[in-house]
Structure 1
Amino acid sequence: MNTLPLSVCLIAHNEAARIRRCLDSVKPLASEIILVYNDCTDGTETIARDEYGAQIFEESWHGHRDQKNIALEKSTQPWTLCLDCDEELSPELVDQLRAFIEADDPAFNGASFPRKVWFLGRWMTHGDWYPDRSLRLIRTGKGRWAGSREHDRMDLEGTAKKLTADLHHYTNPTLNDQIEKINYFADIYLQRQLDAGKKWSLSHAILRPPWRFYRAYFLRRGFMDGFPGFYAAVLTSFATFVRHSRLYEYDTTPEVREKFKPRQ
């Protein structure tokens, strides 16, 4: 089957265990694969270059948003698809992307699609984790990564079509991996609050965690995903509690104040 006028852009740090699944899924579509990598010690870049013909570029780490923009700027095809190494196109999404790009409707400068997470041995199809609609396909030059350094989003000039097929997401293969991310993102959230001059809020620390659980488990029907749905709702609630407690820790703990300081 012929490839399309499509560049696939990825960023990576030590993704050798997962990158083949991602690149296998885009191989039928992509005329160009671009990988921007940093500090790899497991041969990620070699796999991408030697097995899939990717163009590889080494960069120091600039944060998720800025690193993705570095990769995006290297695209040379009329369309660009931005993926993470722990994602893959479902067969249905491959078909829908092919039809969308071949149609080349001038009314659309991009396409979004739902992202479905594999967690604790099943696909999560309810709660806060689904549909998690993501805008990842753009006409080259019509979009750019924006948002905060840890929670990026694609800003598109023009309209995006909503596709229905799923992007598969194989994030955090173990519960330990999931929990470790809480601290990582809590650190970034604390720094962002300090930079914005925010003050600790008791009401946020008390009220937001139970609201996040209620929304995920009941309003968004996380209970339909069995115990993994319950665990995901509890985890989201706890992560929210940690984030909204960090300013209190900063105010009361000299070691934390030494490590984190407002940036001008």
Structure 2
Amino acid sequence: MSSSTAPSERPRLSACIIAFNEADRISDCLASLAFCDDVLVVDSHSTDATVALAQAAGARVLQRPFDGFRSQKDFAVTQAAHDWVLCLDADERVSDELRASILAARDGGFAGQAGYRFNRLSDYFGRFLRHGNAYPDRVLRLFDRRRGGWRGKREIHEAASVDGPVATLRGDLIHYPYRSLEQQLAKTQRYARMMAEHEHARGKRASWSKLVLAPAWRFWRGYVLRAGFLDGWRGLVYAYVRANYVRQKSIMLWLLQHGQPVGDPPRAPDQPRRNG
């Protein structure tokens, strides 16, 4: 890893983005990162125009087979030109207020901090969710890679961590997580399976009480206790879908611990798929 700067200079900042088939979103993401000194996109061999658009925006592009969200982000951090890194997904953008906060912290040399967290504000069917389990959704995405990064073994719901003080910046990271309800449902089912497999491998077990109570608690906590109802019908739909994610994960973990598959068995190339 290269050193960011001499101590007397303002630290330089690298932006790290992972992407796959994000042609409809990558340009806006990169435009919000124009203040960074280095912008790197790690692409998982997209089949659309993601790579061309990223290169046209001036980003460095590296291609790497996808082997997990944490691993992909960790690889991106190691390939950054500078030690201070700002990590985004292609469906995220830095808001004006957050950009100003980051620039102010950088102008101060990121003094005394190993990293910074900030709120993430998610769009849901045309409006931002400002209550419930969706917000403030604080994430640690700006940090000194010499003091931390995307550590651990969990490839899903990955989170960065650092050794040292972490401050909170003003401003939101704007998030556009879903293109449609169908895409959200498919995404949450895939994530539920990945989490169930991860927890099963670590020896965690599901119980009948968790099957019943955990989804209900997720809905009650988000929609009632954290006032998700203030987001109107969007808050209701979001709370139901997130509760269903917990239900799916618990069911899959239950099946795994009883020796049952949670996906279709492998098929020979010439074997037709069975219906029903």
Structure 2 counterpart of 1:20: 27
Q: Which amino acid aligns with 1:11?
A: I
Alignment of 1:11-160 (within 5 A): 11-27=18-34, 29-49=35-55, 51-147=56-152, 148-160=154-166
Shift of 1:146: 2.4
Separation in 2, partners of 1:141, 1:259: 43
TM-score, normalised with respect to structure 2: 0.87
Shift of 1:6: 1.1
Structure 1 counterpart of 2:234: 228
Structure 1 counterpart of 2:207: 201
CA contact (8 A) 1:4 1:30 kept: no
Shift of 1:125: 0.5
CA contact (8 A) 1:4 1:31 kept: no
CA contact (8 A) 1:75 1:140 kept: no
Q: Which amino acid aligns with 2:204?
A: K
Separation in 2, partners of 1:105, 1:63: 30
Separation in 2, partners of 1:70, 1:143: 13
Q: Which amino acid aligns with 2:25?
A: R
Separation in 2, partners of 1:68, 1:96: 23
Separation in 1, partners of 2:37, 2:110: 20
Unaligned runs of 5+ in 1: none
Structure 2 counterpart of 1:173: 179
Match of 1:236, SS? helix
Q: Quick one: structure 1 residues 200 and 138, their matched pair in 2 at CA, closer, same or farther if it must change by over 3 Å? A: closer
**How many residues were matched structurally?**
256
Identical-pair percentage? 33
Separation in 2, partners of 1:100, 1:254: 51
Match of 1:11, SS? strand
Structure 1 counterpart of 2:14: 7
Shift of 1:83: 0.5
Shift of 1:204: 0.4
Q: Quick one: structure 1 residues 110 and 65, their matched pair in 2 at CA, closer, same or farther if it must change by over 3 Å? A: same
Shift of 1:39: 2.2
Shift of 1:140: 3.6
Q: Quick one: structure 1 residues 103 and 251, their matched pair in 2 at CA, closer, same or farther if it must change by over 3 Å? A: closer
Please, which of 174, 180, 186 is the counterpart of residue 192 of structure 2?
186
CA RMSD in angstroms comes to 2.0
Shift of 1:200: 3.3
Separation in 1, partners of 2:240, 2:258: 27
Please, which of 215, 218, 221 is the counterpart of residue 212 of structure 1?
218
Separation in 1, partners of 2:92, 2:109: 25
CA contact (8 A) 2:113 2:164 kept: yes
1 or 2, which has the higher helix percentage?
1
Unaligned runs of 5+ in 2: 1-9, 267-276
